[in-house]
Amino acid sequence: MCDKQMLEENLTQKPHKYVSIKIHSNPSKPCRLKTKIIITFLLALALVSIFTGYLIYTKSHSMTEYPSDPIEPRIPSVSKLHVFKRAAACSDAPICSEVGKTILAQNGSAVDSAIASMFCNGLLNQQSTGLGGGFFMTVYIKEEGKAYSVIARESAPAAATSDMFKRSVNKSSEGALAVAVPGQVRGLWAAYLRWGKLPWASLVSPAIEICKEGFPLSQIVLDALLIRSQQVKNDANLRQMYVDPRTDDFYKVGNITKPSQVLCETLATIAANGGDELYNGSLSMEFLKDLHRVGSVITADDLRNYQPKITEPLAVPFGDGDTLFTPPPPGGGLVLISILSILSGYRFNSSSIATTEDKILSYHRIIEAFKYSYALRSKLGDADFLDLDEIIANVTSPEYGEEIRLKIDDNKTSYDSALYGAETYAEDDSGTAHLSILAENGDAVSITSSVDLFFGAVKMCDKQMLEESLTQKPHKYVSIKINSNPSKPCRLKTKIIITLLLALALVSIFTGYLIYTKSHFTTEEPSDSNEPRIPSVSKLRVFKRAAACSDAPICSEVGKTILAQNGSAVDSAIASMFCNGLLNQQSTGLGGGFFMTVYIKEEGKAYSVIARESAPAAATTDMFKRSVDKSSEGALAVAVPGQVRGLWAAYLRWGKLPWASLLFPAIEICKEGFPLSQIVLDALHERSQQVKNDANLRKMYVDPTTDDFYKVGDITKPSEVLCETLAIIAAKGGDELYNGSLSMEFLKDLHRVGSIITADDLQNYQPKITEPLAVPFGDGDTLFTPPPPGGGLVLISILSILSGYRFNSSSIASTEDKILSYHRIIEAFKYSYALRSKLGDADFLNLDEIIANVTSPEYGEEIRLKIDDNKTSNDSALYGAEAYAEEDSGTAHLSILAENGDAVSVTSSVDLFFGAGFSTHKTGIVMNDVMDDFSSPGITNAYNLKPSRANYIVPRKRPLSSMTPSILVDTNKNVKLVIGSSGGTRIPTSAALVAIGKLWFGQSIKEAIDEPRVHHQLFPMYVSYEYGLQDAIVKGLRAKGHKMVRYTTIRSVNCSLYRNSTAIYGNADFRKAGDVCGLN
């Protein structure tokens, strides 16, 4: 999730669409949080939170066997720093924060938001909070400039006595006598009557739906279950919810658990009848029967007479004119005030923790303040039953802190509790949950609730339930600021690395890949299943104004920030590209090239930027005749790179912000480093020897203590020379690598390893800005995609053939329908890849006739007449192929949609992972091996097919590519779809499948990207398919004659944006763990 944006996530066990919470205006008909929100929010927000927030971070920090204390500072957690402009909701469970946010979005008050979140949290964290507990709430009303405390702490029953636990201490913490009169529901009701705006029922309805649908078990709850295992298993309702009857053990983390039906009914009754229902309504009678059944001394009078208290909070000056509001006793606010008052006189600042010695002294003082304040705590209690005025006046006085500081010895502590003023001990309490709300109008709520020990008294009444808490450590967010003066380029401050990389990147690395992708793309996959594959943990993002999608979350964030600074779509793409060239340099970077499709809304016109690498002037058609390996590895494999000059050309045409400002995010990232991702690690293993033999790459990726690659999540830093190269390009412009002083160092590096690229090759390289292919698509839409040597014509061929089948949602409604549809799609792939073997660089070939044919209305119909719905053929000649076309790989993609309607789709590459397998010595650039994308005469492929003459090497020629960045525009000249893929020869089929899924099959953009893929490129003569394609479909396709081979590695990765009249929907493929960031 991007730091400046909170979004709905989309993860279900069946296909779905995002459903928002809608508040009905009629309280007699309470709104329903539609069932699908449970699928969407719970299995996305909750599962992601469970596995990242706990397994990755908490698990490693809360185990009983800690490693030795580290010398290095602990790395920041994977919790996310979120930054919002209008309002925010923070709770212990992501879905409950989402519920709170949605209430705020419906113009609910801060208290409305808190109430809805509390009911939700009472389900997801019932070991710590819930209907059977109580809370303290601080409310601030901006219009009044006044704060209030709501004290809904549980109270002792009338029959309770001072010595009731004298003979059995255990009964004070377990069983019926441990239960105090709960204050939670009546407290929320009192707060609602004072400050609520929306219908009460609408605030409880989200929790009711969550209760009915269930939610994933979290590690925090499981830990609490293990602590109170016997008690939970002895309770019928809790056992039903948490214990797997097949194993008689607790469910595992991520398993769906459902509260008892009676609890859901209890919530529904409270929603319909109000908060008093549990205290003096018909529900109270059932509640009392439940309590008395287990021996409680709570009576009907106790329930009726329980009253929450709305009072003034403690208010003390804090800092430079600020005021701190916090609950009075029996709340813990006075202890907090004591700590802060003592410490305020030390004038702590950043220098207080600058050195180890400074930190030791500061922590010593903090600990001493804790000790004096907890001595104070032993004297406190309920202010309604004690005279605490003198104590409160003392602690809140200006002199209090100074008096305590005089007692603190900076050189030593004491183990004598009497020295700190303690004469008795105060009971521990635990099992709490917290949430914070800040509304757009300036009102705020801070609320902490509890059932005391985990699962309270562990007596769950038949009509009643409890709850829990999980907190996370915040980071500081530093935004990217663009200077208006290009001579003083902006700096992306260092802390963005902590915030964005270690939050966005680590979360993405561990959720998007380790949790889901690893389980679906390991080499030992399960057999094909007849069940649909569950949706991935990738997130469906929804924005109103603009969006940026890339293969790396931080690069999407960089792109979004450029858009927020009023940068153009091309500015955003350029900044994201320089960023992605660091985080995914196995696939893209300064030593590669790209294809870009640009749409300018004001003109209603699209352009293609072709910055594909080109053959050096000294290259010859048969240069690899004697050594085929040299075409993919080493200096001869390197074509003249087009990336930097291509971006410079696009900038000069459509850029708005200073050029340097677009590179500085990448420069800062380069200097600070970033976490290694699983995707990059896989690429490192694939080209291990080459990487380890390169000094710059070895330094970046190889741990010198083990001589093996760093692990996922370890911080890796690019070479210093690469950072310097970026800084020079930022200062001097994109031509610097081609005809500036930098070009001389670059050439020396290339010549040192035997490259034939010359100064003339660099100076003469020119990217090409031209018209894209433009074809009608659907009902008046137009598809723009790059001409050859790009892969756009293959995509057009596929879609033109398939358009006549009039695909819709019924085309995949049944297994038989899906088998036929997939058969037709595969046949279209085969005919289109036969076409691909005839293509090449349009500047060196006359492709006009082929292009006119494929883009004609008759083309698709001609091919459809050749397709037999009952069978396929394994004869490549039948499809029109006479030669094979080289495979390409190692690509990266990003999609941008700006607020003004402009769009950019760009796919870049260095060909194989890490290109030619080396980086330039003094400039640090990973070089492409694009010469391998040409065909060479006399070299047949593994199927004894001759090479494609259309793709032979010619000096200055660009090799054929599969890259297919495309933009679909509707009849009103508005962008409808920005689409593209990485993945070599699988790019056109991947892009086609996503477009078909979204535009024809009626899937959401996420569902279309998640869908298991099929691919056929004619050579080899088989269908590659992903795990997740149902077994019945695989068998059905085999029955039509298709040879089916399941592949076990990531082959194609999509990053797409879809726009309709209301919003922009974006999804980054889970297969590479990217993300989408945007503006609302």
Q: Determine the Cα angle at 769 with ends 766 and 773, to 5°.
A: 135
In sequence order, which ranges of 274-355 are alpha helices (DSSP H)? 277-280, 282-293, 300-305, 333-344
Estimate to the nearest angstrom the gap between the alpha carbon of 87 and the chain centroid: 21
> Mind giving me the DSSP string for 899-949?
TTS-EEEEEEE-SSTTTTS-B-TTT-PBBP-GGGGSB-TT---TT-PPBPG
Q: How many residues does the chain have?
A: 1080
CA distances to 23, 109, 466 from 186, rounded to whole Å, are: 22, 18, 15
- Is 622 assigned a ligand-binding role in the annotation? no
Residue of 266, 725, 891, 907 with catalytic role: 891
What angle separates helix 94-105 from helix 110-124, to the nearest 10 degrees? 160
Q: List beta partners, residue 494.
A: none
Is 891 in the active site?
Answer: yes
- Give the whole-angstrom CA distance, residue 26 versus residue 157: 38
Q: Which two tokens stand for residue 100?
A: 């709170």
- Is 612 assigned a ligand-binding role in the annotation? yes
- Give the whole-angstrom CA distance, residue 429 versus residue 451: 9
Instruction: Decide: helix, strand or coil at residue 1019.
Output: coil
- Give the whole-angstrom CA distance, residue 712 versus residue 714: 6
- Give the whole-angstrom CA distance, residue 1018 versus residue 830: 5
- Give the whole-angstrom CA distance, residue 591 versus residue 915: 9
- Give the whole-angstrom CA distance, residue 797 versus residue 8: 36
Q: List beta partners, residue 216.
A: 256
In sequence order, which ranges of 687-735 are alpha helices (DSSP H)? 688-692, 695-701, 720-732
Contact (CB, 8 A) for 553 and 7: no
Instruction: Decide: helix, strand or coil at residue 412.
Output: coil
First to last CA, the chain: 14
Is 603 exposed, middle or buried, given 0-12, 13-18 or 19+ CB atoms closer than 10 A? exposed
Instruction: Decide: helix, strand or coil at residue 574.
Output: helix
DSSP H or E run through 188: helix 184-195
From the CB of residue 390, how many other CB atoms can be counted at a distance below 10 Å? 8
Residue for token pair 């074809």:
775
CA distances to 14, 278, 280, 304 from 285, rounded to whole Å, are: 41, 8, 8, 11
Contact (CB, 8 A) for 219 and 54: yes
Catalytically active residues are: 891
Annotated binding site for L-glutamate, which residues?
612, 933, 961-962, 984
Which residue ranges make up the annotated binding site? 612, 933, 961-962, 984
